[in-house]
Amino acid sequence: MGGSSAEREVSLVSGGAVAKALEDEGYQVAMIDVTRELWSQITKADPDVIFNALHGEWGEDGRVQGILDLYGKPYTHSGVMASALAMDKHRAKIVLNSVGINVSKGMLIDREKAARQHAMDPPYVVKPNAQGSSVGVYIVMEGANRPPLDMAMNTKMGDEVLVEEFAPGRELTVAVLNGKALCVTEIVPQASFYDYEAKYADGGSLHEVPADIPDEISEICKDWAEKAHDVLGCRGLTRSDFRFDDKKYEKNASKSDIVNKIVMLELNTQPGMTPTSLAPEQAQHLGMNFGQLCRWIVEDATWPR
């Protein structure tokens, strides 16, 4: 848990919650705040199983997974290939689109160039290609004369950013456990955008579980979440995020027209892990409490992944 990414604080919260839940389940738990000496830290702890509660760079982009593969003990969540691919939003979208999942059209571009002039007609979104939790996301609305001025100085986004068409509509998410979709949650941000604060600040957003949406929309989201989990090669627990444009939805429309009202935003291989996080909330809704979920993840751990 922890580490040095922009999501360090969130990871510490996830790790602390998981550690307490596993202790309550009867496990002996050693908590490791990851440093550059991770190999030595793991060797000193000498675990039977490694629970990966890291978020963001290093923790969910395949690099820590590579160290865990070399270490040779069972670990949780996805392995090197799936983690690296899912974290690379642009390349993941190419794979998702190849199996019939709708994604926003986009391109990779130099951050400073993206800050100088519009890369596409507004509205569009600019975000890091390999970060999570909405860190450094800009929405350039219709009518904007130019991109935000501070984008050029936002080095946390990386040198190369993803520019993609803005997908309007309601924010939906689906957790997948062991390849099976749990249910659909609607996230209702209390601000205009589901950003980092909306995700993690108290009162930042409301979660409706299950989402009050048409059955066919729910089924498409669950089907796409399972398909994405599978095609990216994921393991254990993942969470896929969607936008549903209900303003253009017609109840008796054809299946193809309904599908066109849904866009998949991304897949997260390391969902937040507190009792009130999105994926654990869905598991709780289906009768699996937080401790049971953490136990399942530990028992699912294997080497290699």
Classify residue 31: in a domain, yes or no. Answer: yes
**Which CATH number goes with the domain that contains 50?**
3.40.50.20
Whether residue 304 is contained in a domain is answered as no
Number of domains in the chain: 3
Q: Which helix (H) or strand (E) holds 262?
A: strand 262-268
Catalytic residue check, 8: no
The verdict on residue 296 lying in a domain is no
Task: Report if residue 2 sits inside a domain.
Answer: no
Distance CA 289, CA 294 (A): 9
The CATH number linked to 152 is 3.30.1490
**Domain range enclosing 178:** 85-103+168-291
Residue 196 has pLDDT above 50, yes or no: no
7 is catalytic: yes
Q: Using CA atoms, how far apart are residues 134 and 105, in angstroms rounded to an integer?
A: 18
Q: Using pLDDT thresholds of 50, 70 and 90, give the confidence band for residue 194.
A: very low
Which one of 241, 249, 277, 281 is the catalytic residue? 241
Q: Using the predicted structure, report yes or no on whether residue 264 has a pLDDT greater than 60.
A: yes
Predicted confidence at residue 217, as pLDDT, reads 95
Find where tokens 């990871």 sit: 11
Of the candidates 111, 235, 239, 243, the residue annotated as catalytic is 239
42 and 177 belong to one structural domain: no
Residues 180 and 35 in one domain: no
User: Where is 115: in which H helix or E strand?
Assistant: helix 111-116
Active-site residue flag, 239: yes
C-alpha–C-alpha distance, residues 207 and 228, integer Å: 23
**Pair of tokens at residue 298:** 């530990």
List Cβ neighbours of 243 (8 Å cut-off, separation of 6 or more): 167, 168, 169, 170, 171, 172, 262, 263, 265
Residues 89 and 136 in one domain: no
Q: Which of 38, 88, 99 shows the shortest CA–CA distance to 66?
A: 38
Q: Specify whether 31 is located in the same domain as 120.
A: no
Whether residue 295 lies in the annotated active site: no
Average confidence score pLDDT of the chain? 92
Neighbours of 287 (CB within 10 A): 7
129 belongs to the catalytic site:
no
pLDDT at 130: 82
pLDDT of residue 216 exceeding 50, the answer is yes
Whether residues 185 and 237 share a domain: the answer is: yes
* pLDDT, tens only, 222-260: 999 999 999 999 999 999 999 999 987 887 787 778 888
Q: How confident is the model at residue 199 (pLDDT cuts 50, 70, 90)?
A: low
Other CB atoms within a 10 A radius of the CB of residue 19 amount to 18
**Which is catalytic among the residues 2, 3, 5, 7?**
7
Please check whether residues 173 and 142 belong to one and the same domain. Answer: no
pLDDT tens, 31-67? 999 999 999 999 999 999 999 999 988 899 999 999 9
Residues 205, 286: one domain?
Answer: yes
